[in-house]
């Protein structure tokens, strides 16, 4: 028997103001699209903004459905939209923000497992890392240099 140790490393910014202008703008767009989320059941709104290598920014917000789990998370809405309209573009960066209607979210909210798997698909497809920035409503922003940092044992096509 052997033991495997896996380490994840994140940069932690004390707030949006510490980010570069490019990432501040991306996060601001994620905040704005978060306000348009359809979340009548969870009261938990998420916004995602993707920066593509062609300079385009694609936005997504979570969309819930009474026939759970038919809704989609913000990250997957944005990723799938980008994949359908810009299939050859690479995703360079993703900014994610989450807020609750019932309490203030001050801790950074990472992508859920389904979103991590979806991001992994595109990171593997494009063979370049995707920077992921995530935060709550206010407070610290975490940066992961790659999805592999959040999901070290990715399931991908090599297993099929």
The pTM of this model reads 0.95
pLDDT in tens, 11-32: 999 999 999 999 999 999 999 9
What does the alpha-carbon distance between residue 160 and residue 88 come to, in Å, rounded to a whole number?
A: 23
Annotated binding site for Zn(2+): 73, 112, 115
Strand order in the sheet with 57-61: 11-13, 141-144, 131-135, 91-100, 44-52, 57-61
**Three-class secondary structure of residue 114 per DSSP:** helix
Binding residue numbers for substrate: 62-68
% of the chain beyond a pLDDT of 90: 92
Q: pLDDT, tens digit, for every residue of 39-58?
A: 999 999 999 999 999 999 99
What pLDDT, on a 0 to 100 scale, did the predictor assign at position 159? 85
- Which of 18, 75, 88, 140 is labelled catalytic? 75
Q: Specify the pLDDT at position 76.
A: 97
In the chain the beta strands, taken as DSSP E runs, fall at 11-13, 44-52, 57-61, 91-100, 131-135, 141-144
Question: What is the rounded CA–CA span in Å between residue 79 and residue 82?
Answer: 5
pLDDT in tens, 72-129: 999 999 999 999 999 999 999 999 999 999 999 999 999 999 999 999 999 999 999 9
Give every CB contact of residue 9 below 8 A, 6+ residues apart in sequence: 145, 149
pLDDT at 65 (0 to 100): 93
How confident is residue 160, by pLDDT bands cut at 50, 70 and 90?
confident
Sequence spans of domains, the chain: 11-150
The pair of three-digit structure tokens given for residue 27, joined into one six-digit string: 């996060």
Q: Are 60 and 35 in contact (CB under 8 A)?
A: no
Is 75 tagged catalytic? yes
DSSP one-letter string for 137-153: SSS-EEEES-HHHH-SS
- Residue ranges of the annotated binding site are 62-68, 73, 112, 115
For the domain made up of 11-150, give the CATH fold. Cytidine Deaminase; domain 2 (3.40.140)
């Amino acid at each position: 028997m052997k033991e495997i140790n896996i380490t994840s490393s994140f940069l932690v910014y004390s707030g949006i103001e510490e980010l570069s202008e490019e990432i501040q703008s991306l996060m601001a767009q994620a905040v704005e699209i978060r306000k348009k989320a359809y979340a009548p059941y969870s009261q938990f709104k998420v916004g995602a903004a993707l920066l593509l290598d062609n300079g385009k920014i694609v936005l997504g917000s979570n969309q819930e459905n009474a026939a759970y789990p038919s809704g989609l998370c913000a990250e997957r809405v944005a990723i799938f939209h980008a994949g359908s309209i810009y299939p050859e573009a690479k995703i360079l960066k993703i900014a994610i923000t989450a807020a609750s209607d019932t309490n203030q979210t001050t801790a950074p909210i990472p992508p859920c497992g389904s979103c991590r798997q979806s991001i992994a698909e595109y990171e593997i497809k494009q063979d370049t890392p995707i920077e992921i920035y995530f935060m709550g409503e206010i407070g610290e922003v975490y940066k992961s240099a790659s999805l592999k940092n959040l999901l070290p044992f990715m399931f991908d096509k090599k297993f099929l």
